[in-house]
């Protein structure tokens, strides 16, 4: 999408400008390593898009958008360490290249560098943006802990799962849009509507992520195939399979999820249940549902319909993505 490329170029130029040249090299080289292995830069783009939507100065929003990107990569480093993930974006993860201790330190460094990107904002705006940013970080940690708890929790409800992915993924997208709106001076009601738009886009994105973990093309997805099954993650696929499976299938799921192993028999056995219970179709319907909720919040924003079109395109892009 052309509009995404325009914002992406702005973000890439900013990342290039603020490349780490500090010492010790052993700390900062891994930080450059993950930042330079390009993701889609969706979250900093969300900051810029929201700022643009409400008539703000994109140049003013650039450094806060980089704060979001640095923070996002900090979470990925620690997430990969906790999951013992070998790949991220089709390349080896930081801890597999540089070691566990350096991976932890580099992640911490990215978080602290992220805060420095808000320093140029005027005091009241700085306070508002950092408040949102910090609250988002705490919710993300809560979501991550819920995710860890679910690995050993026998009965995970659908409501608990939605809360977990909202905290772990949804609020970062939501806050990215909200920070962009705050920088542009958007009215409070509109800032909250764009926040809720982002929250449901983030939920849809995470549900699609769960789907792609099993049903996506690993070459395009850039992660270990069925990594969630290996890690006993109680994703939406697992919950739907339990809900719609037979008693025998539920017992088989319990058996496989009592073992943390990458044994091919486990992956094959769980995937077979997922396919029999048609959780792929059910999961895609949930993605569509949250995109529709996001669209409803977008329509509540008191601004020209033409300016909302890129946000609809972004939502559709996330819905259709295969990587």
Chain mean position to CA 121: 26
The superfamily (CATH) of domain 2-320 is Farnesyl Diphosphate Synthase (1.10.600.10)
Residue ranges of domains in the chain: 2-320
Question: pTM (2 decimals)?
Answer: 0.90
CB atoms closer than 10 angstroms to residue 169: 22
- The 10s digit of each residue's pLDDT in 173-200 is 999 999 999 999 999 999 999 999 999 9
* Closest CA relative to residue 273, chosen from 294, 254, 300, 301: 254
* Closest CA relative to residue 74, chosen from 101, 39, 107: 107
User: CB neighbours of 24 closer than 8 A, spacing ≥ 6?
Assistant: none
Tokens of 281: 């179709």
CA geometry: angle 269, 271, 273, nearest 5 deg: 75
Residue in the structure block whose two tokens are 């929250």: 199
**Residues 64/121, Cβ–Cβ less than 8 Å:** yes
What DSSP state is assigned to residue 54? T
Residue in the structure block whose two tokens are 């809360």: 163
87 forms beta bridges with 92
Tokens of 27: 């700390």
Tokens of 204: 């849809």
- The 10s digit of each residue's pLDDT in 254-309 is 999 988 887 899 999 999 999 999 999 999 999 999 999 999 999 999 999 999 99
The DSSP-derived string for 287-314 is: HHHHHHHHHHHHHTS-S-HHHHHHHHHH
Higher pLDDT, 218 or 193: 193
Please determine, for residue 28, whether its predicted confidence score (pLDDT) is greater than 90: yes
Tokens of 307: 């300016």
């Amino acid at each position: 999408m052309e509009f995404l490329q325009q914002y992406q170029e702005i973000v890439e130029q900013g990342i290039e400008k603020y490349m780490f040249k500090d010492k010790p090299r052993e700390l900062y080289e891994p930080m450059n390593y993950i930042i330079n292995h390009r993701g889609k830069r969706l979250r900093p783009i969300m900051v810029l898009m929201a700022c643009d939507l409400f008539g703000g100065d994109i140049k003013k929003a650039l450094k806060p958008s980089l704060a979001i990107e640095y923070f996002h990569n900090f979470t990925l480093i620690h997430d990969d360490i906790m999951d013992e993930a070998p790949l991220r974006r089709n390349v080896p993860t930081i801890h597999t290249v540089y070691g566990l201790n350096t991976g932890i330190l580099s992640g911490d460094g990215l978080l602290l560098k992220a805060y420095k990107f808000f320093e140029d904002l005027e005091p009241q705006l700085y306070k508002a943006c950092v408040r949102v940013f910090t609250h988002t970080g705490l919710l993300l940690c809560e979501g991550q802990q819920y995710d860890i708890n679910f690995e050993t929790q026998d009965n995970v409800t659908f409501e608990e799962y939605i809360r977990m992915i909202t905290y772990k993924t949804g609020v970062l997208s939501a806050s990215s849009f909200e920070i962009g709106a705050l920088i542009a001076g958007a009215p409070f009601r509109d800032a909250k509507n764009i926040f809720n738009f982002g929250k449901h886009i983030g939920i849809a994105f995470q549900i699609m992520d769960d789907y792609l973990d099993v049903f996506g093309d690993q070459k395009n997805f850039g992660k270990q195939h069925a990594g969630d099954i290996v890690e006993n993650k109680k994703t939406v696929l697992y919950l739907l399979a339990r809900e719609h499976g037979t008693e025998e299938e539920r017992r088989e799921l319990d058996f496989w999820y009592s073992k943390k192993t990458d044994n091919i028999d486990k992956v094959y056995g769980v995937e077979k249940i997922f396919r029999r219970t048609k959780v792929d179709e059910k999961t895609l319907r949930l993605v569509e549902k949250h995109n529709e909720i996001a669209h409803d919040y977008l329509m509540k924003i008191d601004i020209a319909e033409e300016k909302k079109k890129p946000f609809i395109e972004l939502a559709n892009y996330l819905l259709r993505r295969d990587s």
